[in-house]
Amino acid sequence: MSKRSNRSDQSAHKTCVSPRLTLVILIAFLLMCLLLVSACASDNALDERTTQEENASVPSEPILDPQQWLEEYPDQVRSFMTATESAPEHDYLEHYPWLATIYEGSGFAKSYFSPRPHLNALEDVKATLRINEKSPSSCFSCKTPQYTIAELKDADALYSMTFYEVSDQMTQTITCYDCHKNEPGRGQVGRSGFRGGFLGSTRRHFNEQFTDIDQGTASCGQCHNEYYFDPDTKAVKLPGSLTDPKDIFEFYQSIDFVDYENTLTGTQHLKAQHPEFQSYTNSVHDVRGLSCADCHLERVNGRGGQFTNHRITDPVDSPIIRRSVCLPCHGDEGSLELVERTQARTKEQTEAIAIRLAAFTERFGAAVSAGSLAEAQLEELRALNREAQWYWDWVIVDNGYGVHNPTQAKECLDRADELLAQAEALLP
Closest C-alpha to 258, from 413, 106, 99, 142: 106
- The CA–CA distances, whole Å, from 385 to 109, 157, 211, 256, 269 equal 17, 37, 35, 16, 8
Please give the Cα distance from 237 to 273 (Å, whole number): 12
What are 78-121's pLDDT values in tens digits?
999 987 665 567 899 999 999 999 999 999 999 999 989 999 99
DSSP element (H, E) containing 308: strand 305-308
**Rg of the chain, C-alpha, whole Å:** 30
d(CA 210, CA 277): 11
Question: DSSP labels for 235-259?
Answer: -EE-STT--SHHHHHHHHHHTT--S
Residue 46: band (very low, low, confident or very high) from pLDDT cuts 50, 70, 90: very low
- How would residue 231 be classed by pLDDT, with cut points 50, 70 and 90? very high
Q: Answer for the pair 403, 339: CB distance below 8 angstroms, yes or no.
A: yes
pLDDT band at 15 (very low <50, low <70, confident <90, very high): very low
Is the model's pLDDT at 54 over the cut of 60?
no
C-alpha 194/C-alpha 48 separation (Å) is 22
pTM tops 0.75, yes or no: yes
Q: What is the mean pLDDT of residues 28-32?
A: 48
Confidence of residue 31 (pLDDT cuts 50, 70, 90): very low
E-state strands within 158-257: 228-229, 236-237
Helix (H/G/I), strand (E/B), else coil: 229: strand
- On whether the CB atoms of residues 210 and 218 are closer than 8 A, the answer is yes
Q: What is the rounded (10 degree) CA torsion for 419, 421, 422, 424? A: 120
- State pLDDT tens for residues 323-337: 889 988 887 667 888
CA distance 223 to 203: 8
- What integer pLDDT is reported at residue 215 of this predicted model? 82
Residues 6+ apart with CB under 8 A from 240: 209, 251
| Range in 85-94, 136-145, 258-267 with the lowest mean pLDDT | 85-94
The yes-or-no verdict on residue 217 having pLDDT over 70 is yes
